[in-house]
Amino acid sequence: MAAFLLAYFCYFNWGSLNVHFAIDDLGNMAHYYRGGWRLLLLSQFRVWYGDYRPMGGLFYVPIFHFAGLNPVPYQAVLLLLLLANVYWVYRFARLLGAGELAAGLAGLAVCYHAGLANLYYNAAFVYDVLCCFFYLAAFVYYMRIRNNGRLLGLGQTLMFLTLFLCALNSKEMAVTVPVMLVVYEWIYHRPRGWNRAELQAWVRGPARVALFAAVINVLDIYGKVFGPDPLASAEAYRPVFALQRVREFQRLSYQDLFMNWDSAPGWGGILAGWALLAYLAWRRADRPALRFLFWFLVVAPLPIEFLVGKSQACLCLLMVGLAVYAAIVLVDLANGIAGLLANEPLLGLLGRRVLAGVLMTCAVYYWAHENRHLETHIVRNSMASLGDDSWDIIQKLRALDPHTRPASRVAFLDDPFHAFDMHNIAELWIHDRSVQVHTLRDGPFTPEELAHTDQIFTFESRKLIRLK
């Protein structure tokens, strides 16, 4: 199983090593680079301060230190994280109670999903990958202990909270972890009775880790809302609690997760879909995993459900929950159909297990074929055009090789972006914090400033020219 999943993953994702930087990559990289190592490490712990996704800095800054503006190492590390997530999905499914086959199918589904294609080739979405990595790692660590009938000790609690903090520092989606811990405990280890003493014992015992995580949540939310540079102040991260936002999110999620962009459900289709998920989850008493995953699909996307335009890679956790849910249902469905077919005279000769295997092989083939078709006809074009403008400028800087002295001044009189993007690229290429970079985005140039500038560049017809 492991060898097959590895081969499948490489088959679909190997080509993404050839992509260039997205412009957001360079902005993210420059943001963490300017702060330096001390601030980057400090920001991992001061959750109340509202630092912007500091775990992302531990992805960008070390690679930049050794590889500079070579996109291949960034993409290679991203793929390693995605591959690790395949393992976590498998372990997550197994600990929830899914069989080995269902867990393997869930892992296969997240190896590559064309509806979330930019998750696999655009390193700017590393925040979603990291959040998924630590979210699942925290749950796997927690469930492995609880499934053995033990509560977490002090050291184990600190380890879990560390993984949870890493998930929070990766992306805001992780605020749902404490809620899902309570859901897990309630479904798998609920109180033996409903009296006050039993409930209090449950809160002090099985539910206490969720309460500790909730305290960290409160500090993190405070920083995102009231910190020095709060994330909630940005328009793209300001939630609007309206049914219209819920409807648009559900429609976008349906299109991306089911790879069907030709249609989108209305309220009738949305409610029917959720009713079907609820029916399948509560139909059988021996399927607690489906009930947990139902609530996972409800709760996990809440941090982005009221934001505008969140789709594709942002649905990473939602994809994981749906993959495990669908894999369990698929195995049950295949076994049920195989049982009926085994009663037929000719098909019965094959046996129930063989018939179930044939049905699941057909489902896997269909899934792989659809993903391959979309990758070939749509995704590859997006990959080829990613970061063309920024990569063109990086190549021009590389060809001109502008050697800059420490503490010097560099100015770009014009640039193709006419935005702060040029400043980011130049600052990262020079790779010296003592050098002052001035671009059009920083304001107009005065004669006095130009006279005291050591190197001056401009762009004419997309050609980089050194003026001084």
Position 402 scores a pLDDT of: 64
Position 446 scores a pLDDT of: 78
Position 365 scores a pLDDT of: 95
Position 157 scores a pLDDT of: 96
Average of per-residue pLDDT values in the chain: 91
Which tens digit of pLDDT belongs to each residue from 115-172?
999 999 999 999 999 999 999 999 999 999 999 989 999 999 999 999 999 999 999 9
Position 414 scores a pLDDT of: 81
In this model, does residue 420 exceed pLDDT 80? no
CA distances 231 to 129, 166, 225, 348, Å, are 19, 18, 7, 61
Position 351 scores a pLDDT of: 79
Position 389 scores a pLDDT of: 83
Which tens digit of pLDDT belongs to each residue from 277-330?
999 999 988 899 999 999 999 999 999 999 998 989 999 999 999 999 999 999
Tell me the two tokens of residue 22: 């997205």
User: 184-193, 263-272, 380-389, 441-450: which range is least confident on average?
Assistant: 441-450
User: 66-75, 97-106, 112-121, 377-386: which range is least confident on average?
Assistant: 377-386
Which tens digit of pLDDT belongs to each residue from 224-250?
998 888 888 888 888 888 999 999 999
- Name the residue with higher pLDDT: 217 or 442: 217
Which tens digit of pLDDT belongs to each residue from 302-311?
999 999 989 8
Position 387 scores a pLDDT of: 84
Query: What does the longest C-alpha to C-alpha distance in the chain come to?
Result: 94
Position 170 scores a pLDDT of: 97
What percent of the chain shows pLDDT beyond 90?
64
